Chain A
Amino acid sequence: MDSLSQYLELYRLNREALDAHSAAPLNALRPAAFEALAGVRLPERGDEGYERTSVQDMFAADYGVNINRVNIPADVAASFKCDVPNLSTLLGVVVNDAFHPLRQLDERLPQGVTFKSLRQAAVDNPELVSAHYGSLAPLTDPAVALNTLLAQDGVFIHVERGVKLDRPLQLVNIFSAPTSLLAPRRVLVVLEDGASAQLLVCDHTQDNSTQYLASEVVEVSLGRDASLDYNHIEESSPLTTRHSQLYVAQNAGSRLSAGSITLTCGSTRNNFSIDLHGEHAECTLSGMVIASGSQHADNNVVLRHLAPRCHSNQLFKYVLDGEATGAFGGRILVTPGAQYTDAYQTNRNLLASTSARMHTKPQLEIYNDDVKCSHGATTGQLDAEALFYMRTRGIPEAEARNMLMQAFMADVIDNVGMESLRDRLRHLVEKRFNGTGALCGDCAASCREHVEK
């Protein structure tokens, strides 16, 4: 059976409850989303752009949806393991799909910055939310339509014109529920002209024995000369499925540095759809996947150069061990109007076992003569000569392998825009390869402090 129909049925039976526990700007798009889903299906493995990932299968399990907003008590403090030491952040927590405002957050936010529940923002400022909600993510994409159909809450971030945040915003997504759960999350990030912000998002799963599915749609709108660092770290569980779609619109002179770090996952698909609308827009994408066991991670980038003199640079690296599978799809489109485009894309992958598999599909479509573009993809194994060299110096094979795998990720970490995060990432990656658990563990102290106050 088509996995979509169970959700359509759910919607038909719970229309009122969905609306009642959400807000008007979100409810307004539901009928259109429902219509858009008539007669379509979610992408299957083998569809173009989905060569190795079935979104159908991701949504197929019998997940519950917390339509009536039952408050699921999550031991929030226990899950707060992802704070980055030496990085003082303005912290918000999303448990499943509900934003939990920490008491002091509002007081600590600088003038001109909103960081709150999307539902609350839609009540407080419906015009602003309506103007941006659904403006970038198209309902013609069935997964976006499904998210729009079911989303009741999420996060709203707004930075007023010219406001430059000096402290990073941090969003911790925690999965916690007694039964298997689908959380349809919606995130809106709006930086007005000249605004700048840093955002760090961490995904955690509290219970490793329950199945979770995150359906996430993020819409990011960057005004003229706005600047955003947006880094995402996933440390979930083998039973967690993540389907994330990021839509970004960049105006002239804006800058985006986005990092996507998959340290532990079950099955993950991250879509990046980035439109460079204005001249001199700059976009850097850095992706890292470390997968082992039977984990699956698929990153898919569609980057459109729609204006002249824009610059984009993508670097995605995977280390796959065990039976892990990875996929990367990267399409750069340079339209006829986008003269003097600089666009680069690199995908490098390391297979650390004989049964790990990687599928990569770099694409470059250029409808313009005056451009500098390149793309390259390689998939290989650890350098046997380097490994032998290290072993002759007495370094045990397992340690030598870990050192080489860490070294492989060094340039992706160097690409990450937030300096204090880079140090933390080096540590996390080292721990991940050493098999000492991917959870941030020892850094819990500083964020626990935030909660207990």
Chain B
Amino acid sequence: MLPFIIRRLFFLPVVFFGVTIIIVLLMQLLTPYQRAAAFARSEQQARNLDAIIQQYGLDDPWYMQYGRWLGQVAQGNLGYSRVTAEPVLTTIRKRFPPTLELALFAIIPVIGAGIWFGTAAALNRDKFIDQLTRVLSIVGWSLPTFVFGIWLLVIFYGGLGEFLKDFAGGLFRVEPGRLSTPYIIELASGNFRSYTGLMTIDALLNGRLDIFWNAILHLILPVTTLAVVASAQIMRVMRSSLLDTLSQDYVRTARAKGLEESVVNIKHARRNALIPVLTLAGFVLTGLISGVVITETIFNYPGLGQWAASAAVQLDYAAVLGFAVFLSMVVVIANLLVDVMYGIIDPRIRYD
């Protein structure tokens, strides 16, 4: 397995150069003048675009600009993000943990619901639960995240309608963001140590149940938005791959051996059915990362997605590059982990 992992790690530089060259070339489709104008926020600042072009060397050939950027990277500096007004690396360091937290919390219901519904559907083929799963998964898959997210926001945070006004004691009525204002002030005052950047974990490590709870409340709506669409996909794959394994020889053999049906189903079939699900989990992670762009924008959640959205629209050169490089690395590494997990689930798989 080790040579396999090493070989896959060699792919990282390929992704690095590939992704950055693609983006740098894309940016070259704009004239230096346009790229300079992207720096201007108001009419006032547009008064000397030529100066900006000169200052940032925007009219140099692309390989020179790319070379400059690489030079910076070699010194451990990914450039400066204009959108967040701080170095790209700082932004990534600050914004990756919130996104990771969101994705981790989302992946629990996604995998859970996905596997449960998928299994139930496959074992009861064409029964009610199967039809329900299929309808749920198709509807969930057809929902536009952005409409769904805003509706959640307005209904639960806005407390629309008499019934929802005091739903669950107003439990869901926390403002968008990561924490409530008093905690933001407290964190700014420096009495709270950040260990991991994951708010829930840090809160526990600081022994602050109230902050932990506040962070959880802030996660509910965005996590729901993210999870609904993603679990629909997992359900489908779980169902069809379980159907597939159930019809295979060794399951039949196990049945013929007289093993009890539930043991067959769970011990043998489900474990093998998990392999495609694992593949999909890799995809879901990528999907979640795309999903966070919209979810974070709606729920004002200070993660990578929100940053990426404004950076892309405002042509924040360094931010787009840094973001794309970082996320593609994350994706590659996540896929590598998935592949390694195959081997753990099914020792027969060989890496060559």
- Are A and B co-members of a single complex? no
B contact residues vs A (CB 8 Å cutoff) = none
A contact residues vs B (CB 8 Å cutoff) = none
